[in-house]
C-alpha cells in the first residue's frame, strides 16, 4: 500500500465520519426534538409539493397527509445513514439508502423557483443533493467503513477466513507433492 493511498483512506474516513455526524444529527432532530414540527416542517413539505413533478404527486400527498409518519420515516432514514457512516458499520447499505434519499430530495425539489428555468437553474437547485449523492457513491465503492470504522473488524475477519483455506490447500498440495516424490522413488529406483 502506497503512502498516498493510505492518506486517501484516512481523508475518506474523516469525511465519512463528519457526514455521518451530520446525518445522525438531522435524523435525531426529526425523531427526538418535539419542537421540530412547530419550526416549519409542514411549510417545507408544502413548498416541496409545489416544485415536485406531477408524476411524484403521490409521494408528496402522502407526506402532506401524514406529516408525522413521513417525518419519522425521514428521521429513521437519516439516522440509519448517519450511524452507518459515523460508525463505519454497514457502510454500503447505508450509502445505498442515502443515495435513494438524495434522489428523492432531487425529485421533490425538481422545479427551481424561477419563471423560465434553464439547465443552470436546475443544476444550481440540485447541486447540494448531487454532491451528497456522489459522495455517498464514493463511500460505497471505496469501502469507506474499513478505515477507522467497525467495518474494519468485519472485513479483517472475512479476509482471515478466505486466506486460511487457501493456506491449508497449499499445505495439502505440498504434502501431496512430497508423497508423490517418495512414491516415484520407490517405484523407479535410480540405479547407481
**Sign of the CA dihedral running 71, 77, 82, 83:** positive
Instruction: Give the model's pLDDT for residue 158.
Output: 63
Q: Concatenated DSSP letters for 46-97?
A: HHHHHHS-GGGHHHHHHHHH-HHHHHHHHHHHHHHHHHHHHHTSSHHHHHHH
Same domain, 54 and 120: yes
**Mean pLDDT in each 10-residue stretch from start to end of the chain (192 residues)?**
74 93 92 76 77 85 85 92 93 95 89 76 84 94 85 70 55 58 57 48
Domain count, the chain: 2
Question: Does one domain contain both 179 and 84?
Answer: no
**Same domain for 28 and 72?**
yes
Looking at the structure, tell me whether residues 109 and 157 fall in a common domain: no
Do 131 and 54 belong together in one domain?
A: yes
For position 119, what pLDDT does the model report? Answer: 76
**pLDDT score at 98:** 96
| pLDDT value for 97 | 97
pLDDT at residue number 25: 94
Q: Are residues 142 and 53 in the same domain?
A: yes
136 with 174, same domain: the answer is no
**pLDDT for the residue 161:** 58
Alpha carbons 156 and 84: distance in angstroms, whole number: 18
* Spatial distance between the Cα atoms of 157 and 143, rounded to a whole number of angstroms: 15
Residues 50 and 135 in one domain: yes
**Based on the domain organization, do 110 and 174 belong to the same domain?**
no
Pair 37, 105 in one domain: yes
Residues 92 and 59 in one domain: yes
* Domain range enclosing 165: 150-192
* Cβ pair 61, 121 in contact under 8 A: no
Query: Residue 143 corresponds to which cell in the numbers above?
Result: 469501502
Is residue 75 located within the same domain as residue 115? yes
Whole-prediction pTM = 0.73
Amino acid at each position: 500500500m502506497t503512502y498516498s493511498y493510505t492518506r486517501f483512506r484516512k481523508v475518506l474516513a474523516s469525511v465519512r465520519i463528519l457526514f455521518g455526524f451530520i446525518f445522525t444529527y438531522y435524523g435525531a432532530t426529526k425523531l427526538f426534538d418535539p419542537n421540530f414540527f412547530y419550526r416549519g416542517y409542514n411549510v417545507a413539505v408544502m413548498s416541496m409539493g409545489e416544485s415536485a413533478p406531477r408524476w411524484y404527486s403521490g409521494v408528496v400527498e402522502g407526506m402532506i397527509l401524514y406529516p408525522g409518519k413521513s417525518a419519522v420515516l425521514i428521521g429513521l432514514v437519516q439516522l440509519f445513514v448517519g450511524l452507518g457512516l459515523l460508525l463505519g458499520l454497514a457502510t454500503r447499505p447505508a450509502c445505498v439508502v442515502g443515495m435513494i434519499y438524495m434522489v428523492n430530495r432531487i425529485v421533490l425539489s425538481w422545479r427551481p423557483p424561477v419563471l423560465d428555468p434553464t439547465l443552470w437553474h436546475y443544476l444550481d437547485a440540485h447541486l447540494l443533493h448531487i454532491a451528497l449523492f456522489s459522495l455517498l457513491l464514493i463511500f460505497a465503492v471505496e469501502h469507506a467503513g474499513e478505515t477507522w470504522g467497525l467495518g474494519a473488524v468485519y472485513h479483517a475477519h472475512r479476509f482471515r477466513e478466505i486466506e486460511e483455506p487457501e493456506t491449508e490447500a497449499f499445505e495439502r498440495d505440498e504434502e501431496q507433492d512430497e508423497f508423490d516424490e517418495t512414491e516415484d522413488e520407490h517405484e523407479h529406483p535410480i540405479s547407481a
